Structure 1
Amino acid sequence: MSTRRSHNKTRLGCSQCKKRRIKCDGQHPLCVNCDRKGLDCSFLLLVPSHPLLTKSTPIASTSSRPSKTSPKTPYQIHVIQPSNQLTPSRPSSLITLDPLSDDFSLPLLPKLPPHIDLKDVWKECHDTILPYHHNLLAHYKNTTCLTLATDGPGQTVWQSHVPRLANEHKFLIHGILSVASLHVSRLHEGKPERDDMNAIAADQMNRALAHFRVELGSINKDNAPALFACSTITAVYFFRTSVLDLQETQASIPPHVTEPPPELVDRSIHSIIRTFWALRGALSVLQPAWDWVVDSEISPVCTRRWWPQHWVPANPRALIEDQKLHEIEKLWARSGSRYGDSLTAALSHLRNTYGLVSLLTDPGREYPQLNAPVPYSVDDTTVGMLRDRAAMFTWVTSVSKEFIALVEEKNVEALVIVAHYAVLLGRVRNVWWMDGLGAGMLRAIAMALGREHLHLLAWPAQVLDVDVERRFGLDGVGRETGAAELGTLSTGLSMPEIV
């Protein structure tokens, strides 16, 4: 009696054969059954050298000769242009080819977006952190990292390349946990939960800066990218905590008080200065390590080759604003201030920065297509899209230390210049670590100047909708930040020493 031949079952067949309940031979890229029936074999989706195929874009048979039943009508193939090129973006071209001609070829499969990483870049970090911190890493990976840049290449750096650096440099993982915790704190409605997250943020930033300072003493090719990434994260941290500090300080002034106490004025000005040193701290790392950083994977964070070379007002509105800035120089030109050179240089840099921002916001000009431009108020009523928020920060990194010292001393002319810089920050929308910074800075400057100089803030106050004439705008302070919320954020924290 003959034995029945065994049937070798397989679960590796194509989807079409499984639906038809027939055995699939598993031949790639097109199984025999689908080839015979002219069906779209699911194996075609696995072919890396061809585009993903649908019924609207069929592929010719894998046989050397075309089938007699092949349609004679040409196919339409969309050629996708890369979005991160340095030349102005163009619409995708439409190519019509006859699949039976000798010139017919299929375009290569577009690569996955660079920020989609199929490997666990945090693998080496998981064993070195507390279990709860895994949740913070998940939040950073899915949300926070995408808020640290406006363009695709920059977001890729923060989502994929920076975590790899963090595996090798402990100070960077602490910085990541700090800014992620600070970001999460905004999601908690209850004050105790916010306080807990802020405490974690402060603790992690303290740890990051402790290790950061040690490494900063010997910058080299191996640690330069990680140091620059950490200094950038530190800047984000101090931007957000400065916003909270300004809100907390200004909200603590009782409604019946018409003249703010000097110590609260000083604290508010210090919060402004902290944002200056945060940005300049990143610059202090970048300058001696420029070649190492730009040759690394995090280069998109610091290079802006696509920016226009000449920073001039881009439209009539920008020209009007430039003239307003030019008028500020009269404050010290007439009095012959001994700080005239520093003030003039700072104002000149601010005018250039306004020009650059107008160029990058002007819808009439073409720039590389970026993934997430920043909502930006173009003319106080119309919200446009700012291509790169880093344009605003060029002013802070350009002014002299002498000018920053004048701001600390509450020099009238210097504070007026900073108030006009606050306009740029206040026009930005939907950036969590900058929300409220422009208005908070303007209120602080109004308190420092006193009522006799409030007329010098008329235009910034109008743009930012801050009623400085009424208690220096303090009635408009958001009181969601309690008096004790910032206590854990500033304790023990100090900026890295700037060379």
Structure 2
Amino acid sequence: MQAWVTETPGGGDEQSKSLYNETGARRRRAHPKSRNGCQHCKQRRVKCDEVRPACGQCIERKWKCEYPPPEKRAHLSPPPRNDSSESLAIPKTEPETPPTSISDSGSPAAESRNAIHTGVIAYLERTSVPRRKLEPDGPQVRLAVELVDHFLDTTELWVGSSVSQTIIQRHAFPMAFHASYLLHAVLGCAASHLQFLHPGEKKYETAALHHYTRSLQAYSSQLVHDIEHGDGQAMMAASGLLAKLTFINTVAMNADEPLSPRTSPVCWIRSMQGVKVILSTPNLKTQLQTGFLLPILQRYKTPPPMDINMRVDVQDPDSPTSMLARLRDFCAISSLGAADPYTPIITRLAPYILAVPDHDSVDEMMAIVAGVETSFIELLEQCDTRALLILCYWCARLPFIQQWWTGPSARIECRLELGLAKLPA
């Protein structure tokens, strides 16, 4: 039997006696005191690493980390210098509160930018295996700072419409410090874009794959195992970034594969279905309906029905109207109310066949795939010719948006779909 099981107050050897005070009550284990810890650690009376904007305890438990206001701590003496492995390897230049605001110019204020850098580096230190301090001017720190700055400072439209990009750049990092899947998605997008701009730089390729994988793992875990306690805003933001990363990564992996049902687009389409789960979870939907992502959420609404009496224009058989009419005829759709698996997605796709999609259409274009019905996905799994052709129309319209991730992957996917449609059943 283990010694600690048989301990009795006042009995046993000197080591056992030291566990109890003179009254026979068990002594409380001593631990270093933290006067500047966050509110959660103070309430739980546990050691706080005092890292800002979010301490390790709160990040591990997915809590919102809050520190006492400066005025409540003004009378306290400065804490002693901590040279343990828990401390950051770079000077703490961040403000007393997490970064939550961005200046009118669209760039974070200098102090907030420093806080974001410090928070990202602190997170990478805590999650490194084996855990270690990063050199202040080492390659990992320089790359992390570069990814943060690239994500915040890129002004060209590259992660969505003008509306969604402005919102994501403004709010992503304050949310990301409480949601690791969003932090990795942000860094993964920045690394992937830099890889596109500098294809010879191996560091961007490695970082892109690392952060994409970590984001997808954490996001899937939240979605499957703890959806009710998720942050609707952070999950929706992550889903939008992951949709783009999944599209370019999955399609690229299948580019050199021989045509077969295994290379069907079902994998990356299924990965985007998390949006439907988020919007069907009551507390997450409530968060979104009152939050700053509402303008993006509204883009997921089904467009109004189009004219069902369209016919091929014999004078211009290649016109958008003729294209849509031929697609409807091929899928044998007699009316928009018909109970078939093709009508819903063609209804949502029709406006972007009739008009050339642009930057402001990218969110709606991605929403078409994110909201596709299960019955349609099952047809894609079976390499149904009609379903593959509809998706090919979607892929053919996507490059018109002319963002870095839309063209190459869409053209590869379109080739695969056309090839699969010709395979024998």
Identity %: 18
Residue 294 to residue 221, structure 1, CA distance change in 2 (3 Å): farther
Whether the 8 Å contact between 1:181 and 1:197 is mirrored in structure 2 is yes
CA contact 1:238–1:278 (8 Å) conserved in 2: yes
| Match 1:122 to one of 96, 104, 116 | 116
Deviation at 1:280, TM superposition (A): 1.6
Q: Larger RCO: Structure 1 or Structure 2 (Cα < 8 Å, ≥ 6 residues apart)?
A: 1
| Equivalent pairs, count | 292
- Identify if the C-alpha distance between structure 1 residues 448 and 358 changes in structure 2 by more than 3 Å, giving closer, same or farther: closer
> Which letter does structure 2 place at the counterpart of 1:161?
H
Q: Residue 313 of structure 1 contacts residue 356 of structure 1 at CA under 8 Å; is this kept in 2? A: no
Matched, 1:242 2:250: yes
| Counterpart for residue 226 of structure 1 | 234
Offset of 1:282 from its aligned partner?
Answer: 2.6
2:73 aligns with none
8 Å contact kept, 2:187–2:208: yes
For 1:148, the equivalent position in structure 2 comes to 159
Q: Distance in 1 between matches of 2:352 and 2:329?
A: 20
2 CA distance for matches of 1:114 and 1:352?
A: 39
**What secondary structure sits across from 1:231 in the alignment?**
helix
Residue of structure 1 equivalent to 2:323? 321
1:137-184 residue CA offsets vs partner (Å, 9 max, x unmatched): 111112289422212x42222111111101222222112111211111
Q: CA deviation at 1:185?
A: 0.8
Residue 231 of structure 1 contacts residue 285 of structure 1 at CA under 8 Å; is this kept in 2?
no
Alpha carbons of structure 1 residues 286 and 385: separation in structure 2 relative to 1, 3 Å: same
Which of 166, 178, 187 is equivalent to 2:176? Answer: 166
CA RMSD of aligned residues (A): 3.6
8 Å Cα contact 1:356-1:391 kept in structure 2: no
Contact 2:248 2:405 in 1 (8 A): yes
Contact in 2 for aligned 1:175/1:208 (Cα 8 Å): yes
In structure 2, what residue type is equivalent to 1:450? K
- Cα separation, partners in 2 of 1:342 and 1:355, compared to 1, 3 Å: closer
Counterparts of 2:145 and 2:232 in 1: how far apart (Å)? 26
Tell me, yes or no, if structure 1 residue 292 matches structure 2 residue 300. no
| Aligned counterpart in structure 2 of residue 432 of structure 1, from 395, 404, 418 | 404
Structure 2 counterpart of 1:444, from 416, 421, 425: 416
- Residues of 2 paired with 1:433 and 1:189: CA distance? 14
Distance 2:237 2:245 in 1: 13
Gaps of 5+ in 2: 1-101, 125-139, 314-318
8 Å Cα contact 1:276/1:396 also seen in 2: yes
- Contact kept, 8 Å, 2:247 with 2:268, in 1: the verdict is yes
Measure, in 2, the Cα distance between the counterparts of 1:349 and 1:197.
39
Report the counterpart of residue 283 of structure 1 in structure 2.
276
- With over 3 angstroms needed to count, the CA separation of the structure-2 counterparts of 1:436 and 1:342, relative to structure 1, is farther
Larger Rg over CA atoms: 1
- TM-score, normalising length: structure 1: 0.51
5 Å-filtered alignment, 1:27-46, equals: none
The 3 A distance-change label for structure 1 pair 125 and 184 is same
Q: Deviations over 1:227-277 (max 9, x none)?
A: 22122221111011134224343xxxxxxxxxxx4xx434432xx223312
For residues 30-429 of structure 1, the aligned pairs below 5 Å read: 113=104, 115-118=106-109, 119-120=112-113, 122=116, 124-129=119-124, 130-131=140-141, 132-143=143-154, 146-151=157-162, 153-190=163-200, 193-194=201-202, 196-216=203-223, 217-220=225-228, 223-249=231-257, 261=258, 264-269=259-264, 272-288=265-281, 289-304=284-299, 310-312=304-306, 317-330=319-332, 345-357=340-352, 361=355, 378=356, 385=358, 387-426=360-399, 428-429=400-401
Distance in 2, matches of 1:188 and 1:140, equals 15
Kindly tell me: are residues 402 and 178 of structure 1, through their superposed partners in 2, closer, same or farther at Cα, counting changes over 3 Å? same
SS in 1 for 2:189: helix
Q: Quick check: 2:359–2:402 contact (8 Å CA) kept in 1?
A: no
Q: Structure 1 residues 281 and 342, CA, compared in 2 at 3 Å: closer, same or farther?
A: farther
Asked if the contact 1:293/1:299 (under 8 Å) is kept, the reply is yes
Greater helix content: 2
> What is the SS of the residue equivalent to 2:227?
coil
Tell me: CA distance 1:433–1:322, structure 2 relative to 1, closer, same or farther (3 Å).
same
TM-score normalised by L of structure 2: 0.59
List runs of 5+ in structure 1 lacking aligned partners.
1-110, 250-260, 334-340, 362-377, 379-383, 454-499
